[in-house]
Amino acid sequence: MAERIVEEMRPFFDPKAVAIIGATNKKGKVGNVIFENFRMNKERGIFKGNIYPVNPKLDEIEGYKVYHSVKELPDDTDLAVISIPAPFVPQTMRDIAEKGIKAVIIITGGFGELGEEGKKLEREIYEIAKANGIRVIGPNCVGVYVPDTGVDTVFLPEEKMDRPKSGPIAFVSQSGAFAAAMLDWAAMAGIGIGKMVSYGNKLDVDDADLMDYFLHDDEINVVTFYIEGVKDGRKFMEAAKRITKVKPVIALKSGRTEYGAKAASSHTGSLAGADAIYDAVFKQTGIIRAEDFEHMFDLAKAFAALKHKLPKGDRIGIITDGGGAGVMASDAVAKFGLKMAELSEETKKFLKERFPPHAVVGNPTDVVGDTDAERYRLAIEAFTKDPNVDAILVIVLFQVPLLEEDKIIDILAEYQKKSDKPIVAVAMGGRKTDRYARMLEERGVPVYPTPERGVRALAGLVRYAEYLRKVEGE
């Protein structure tokens, strides 16, 4: 099964040659943006495959030969991207089947989400695909983005939407607009996305297929989903149980309310179903449910950096140079069902002997506002050695005058590397703080802008570790 799904999905992420059906020289049109994405990535040396635009009315675009029909395409074509009006798609699928192309992304909308006529078209396409062993992503989607191979079917041009750098996070979205906005945001936030799939109406390739594929994808450490509804519950659960034993899966499920469910039905034709059922399914299969967009990527960032060292328990140690921030973090520990670690007597003695009298030794440990980097180092050293601490939250207010920014960044990165306990940082502030936060993240320390978000990310690590211990014990 593993070999089959990897082979079926490969052309979507790393094709030998892509046919862009509906490619045009009219700037701003969907078929033109997709063609330009591939062309520019080819010129940059990222996309290594061949590019075959298809349009019966053109002979050449930007120096590329345009094929007048699918039947004329060269035999190495293994991926077709369709962006022509919906009524013409079934015949194009027949031509694709005859040509022997096995992977198709249908960008075009106007199918099941519009009612019965659209559903008929979808069924026709599905039957052609099924009879000929063709895998289909879409319709009604923005398709696939893979920064490492240069596959980019997102029809929003680069001058309007930034693309994120590569990273170990896979992002799967039913909504194309949400996917595009998220990619743009991830680029700004410096979050690396290894593969993005927007599958729209999920005519064929669905969540379960993608979970099975990502299970075997060594470039991906954590999988995130934006889901409006699941069509085949059993298939979804079985795939989820397989992947969550190996990699964390985070799901943001919308359509939680009556109003949201109605909106999901008209958006992608999804049946959102009872939210309580999704809650139960996620818990049973080990999928971590995100409350919102922010939560999803806070979790993904933590797992991407720290998956190899999950906490052994739920006892959190907090180090801060701001008393108020320490209190906020302590509240968050209780709010998210974690425990404040009871520091060992050895830890307290070690810190009291080395700290000035006005520093607060306890949990939180407050190194106070006249701290330097060395005081942080002592606290982190003690917390990493304390058997009563399972994970560490380090709040750094970079604004304090005596704190050497480079030194504290070096210290956090050093202990993140050598300790088996996960360390997450919180850096509250503005533009300068953001710059230091980016430097920390480049060194493998996930950073959050508020204590609550940092603790909530740690809670995700704790819950996933608990799930793994549970399934390993079964």
Cβ count near 249 (within 10 Å) = 26
> pLDDT band at residue 260, thresholds of 50, 70 and 90?
low
> With 70 as the cut, is the pLDDT of residue 266 above it?
no
> With 60 as the cut, is the pLDDT of residue 270 above it?
no
- C-beta separation of 15 from 47 below 8 A: no
Residue range 227-256: average pLDDT? 91
> With 80 as the cut, is the pLDDT of residue 137 above it?
yes
Joined tokens for residue 187: 């680029």
> pLDDT band at residue 89, thresholds of 50, 70 and 90?
very high
> pLDDT band at residue 307, thresholds of 50, 70 and 90?
confident
Could you give the CA distance from residue 73 to residue 384 in angstroms, rounded to a whole number?
60
SS3 string, the chain, reads CHHHHHHHHHHHHCCCEEEEECCCCCCCCHHHHHHHHHHHHHHCCCCCCEEEEECCCCCEECCEECECCHHHCCCCCCEEEECCCHHHHHHHHHHHHHHCCCEEEECCCCCHHHCHHHHHHHHHHHHHHHHHCCEEECCCCCEEEECCCCEECCCCCCCCCCCCCCCCEEEEECCHHHHHHHHHHHHHHCCCEEEEEECCCCCCCCHHHHHHHHHCCCCCCEEEEEECCCCCHHHHHHHHHHHHCCCCEEEEECCCCHHHHHHHHHHHCCCCCCHHHHHHHHHHHCCEECCCHHHHHHHHHHHHHHCCCCCCCCEEEEEECCHHHHHHHHHHHHHCCCEECCCCHHHHHHHHHHCCCCCECCCCEECCCCCCHHHHHHHHHHHHHCCCCCEEEEECCCCCCCCCHHHHHHHHHHHHHHCCCCEEEECCCCHHHHHHHHHHHHCCCCEECCHHHHHHHHHHHHHHHHHHHHHHHC
Tens of pLDDT, residues 176-232: 998 999 999 999 988 999 999 999 999 999 999 999 999 999 999 999 999 888 889
Cβ count near 339 (within 10 Å) = 14
Could you give the CA distance from residue 252 to residue 300 in angstroms, rounded to a whole number?
12
pLDDT value, residue 380: 98
The pLDDT > 90 percentage for the chain reads 86
Can you name the residues that pair with 195 across neighbouring β-strands?
A: 170
Tens of pLDDT, residues 11-50: 999 999 999 999 999 999 999 999 999 999 999 999 999 9
Cβ count near 5 (within 10 Å) = 20
Q: Quick check: do 1-304 and 308-472 share a fold?
A: yes
> With 60 as the cut, is the pLDDT of residue 267 above it?
no
- C-beta separation of 184 from 115 below 8 A: no
What are phi and psi for residue 148, nearest 5 degrees? Answer: -75, -30
Domain boundaries, the chain: 1-304, 308-472
> With 60 as the cut, is the pLDDT of residue 269 above it?
no
Could you give the CA distance from residue 403 to residue 200 in angstroms, rounded to a whole number?
49
> With 70 as the cut, is the pLDDT of residue 261 above it?
no
pLDDT value, residue 324: 96
Could you give the CA distance from residue 242 to residue 286 in angstroms, rounded to a whole number?
10
Label residue 245 exposed, middle or buried (CB < 10 Å: 0-12, 13-18, 19+). Answer: middle
pLDDT value, residue 308: 80
> With 90 as the cut, is the pLDDT of residue 277 above it?
no
Q: Tokens 């149980």 — which residue?
A: 241
| Fold type of domain 308-472 | Rossmann fold (3.40.50)
The CATH number, out of the four listed (3.40.50.261, 3.40.50.970, 3.90.76.10, 3.30.479.30), of the domain defined by the range 1-304:
3.40.50.261
pLDDT value, residue 263: 65
Q: Which residues contact 57 (CB under 8 A, 6 or more apart)?
A: none
Rounded to a whole number of angstroms, the distance between the first and last alpha carbons of the chain is 24
User: What is the pTM (predicted TM-score) of this model?
Assistant: 0.91
Tens of pLDDT, residues 404-434: 999 999 999 999 999 999 999 999 999 999 9
pLDDT value, residue 117: 85
Could you give the CA distance from residue 143 to residue 130 in angstroms, rounded to a whole number?
20
